[in-house]
């Protein structure tokens, strides 16, 4: 299931707007913004999470929708200042498949989108994602199936 980015952004804007109207101060509590180049926006360790999990696909076909990794800071805010490359690979590979496509992507506004990943052999897999200074994470299980002729 793919999360609609627009809805999430709108919800954040509504919450920030409500805080600005009714309270004192800026209402921007918890918004990350630091710019240390590669690490977390607050100077801490970046935290990775699967924003869009891999879906099942046919062997050799692109996994759709694209797998997405979000980078957060230690407060749980999306770290839009993180610029380090995020690497994705096969975590479990009992069928001996090969992952193809672009496997290192730098995030844009805290999210890396892997739009052309494919696996060449039918089987059950998980993906791992890693970045410098962050703990490696593992996706949920998904299946690559054999393409059958009609």
In angstroms, rounded to a whole number, what is the distance separating the alpha carbons of residues 121 and 114? 19
Q: Taking the model in full, what pTM does it have?
A: 0.71
Model confidence over 83-141: pLDDT tens digits? 999 999 999 998 999 999 999 999 999 999 999 999 999 999 999 999 999 999 999 99
Model confidence over 55-84: pLDDT tens digits? 999 999 999 999 999 999 999 999 999 999
Tokens describing residue 140: 């949920």
In angstroms, rounded to a whole number, what is the distance separating the alpha carbons of residues 16 and 80? 17
Please tell us whether the domain made up of 34-145 is placed in CATH 2.60.40.3960: yes
Q: Tell me if residue 5 falls in helix, strand or coil.
A: helix
Alpha-carbon 39 to chain mean position: 16
Tokens describing residue 3: 């999360």
In angstroms, rounded to a whole number, what is the distance separating the alpha carbons of residues 99 and 104? 12
């Amino acid at each position: 299931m793919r999360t609609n980015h627009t809805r999430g952004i709108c919800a954040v804007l509504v919450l920030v707007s409500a805080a600005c109207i009714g309270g004192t101060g800026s209402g921007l509590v918890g918004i990350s913004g630091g710019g240390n180049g590669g690490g977390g926006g607050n100077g801490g360790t970046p935290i990775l999470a699967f924003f869009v999990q891999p879906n099942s696909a046919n062997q050799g076909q692109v996994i759709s929708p694209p797998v997405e990794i979000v980078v957060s800071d230690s407060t749980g805010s999306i770290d839009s200042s993180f610029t380090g490359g995020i690497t994705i690979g096969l975590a479990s590979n009992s069928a001996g498949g090969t992952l193809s496509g672009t496997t290192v992507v730098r995030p844009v506004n805290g999210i890396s989108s892997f739009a052309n990943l494919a696996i060449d052999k039918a089987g059950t897999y998980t993906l791992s994602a890693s970045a410098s200074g962050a703990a490696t994470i593992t996706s949920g299980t998904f299946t690559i199936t054999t393409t059958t002729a009609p």
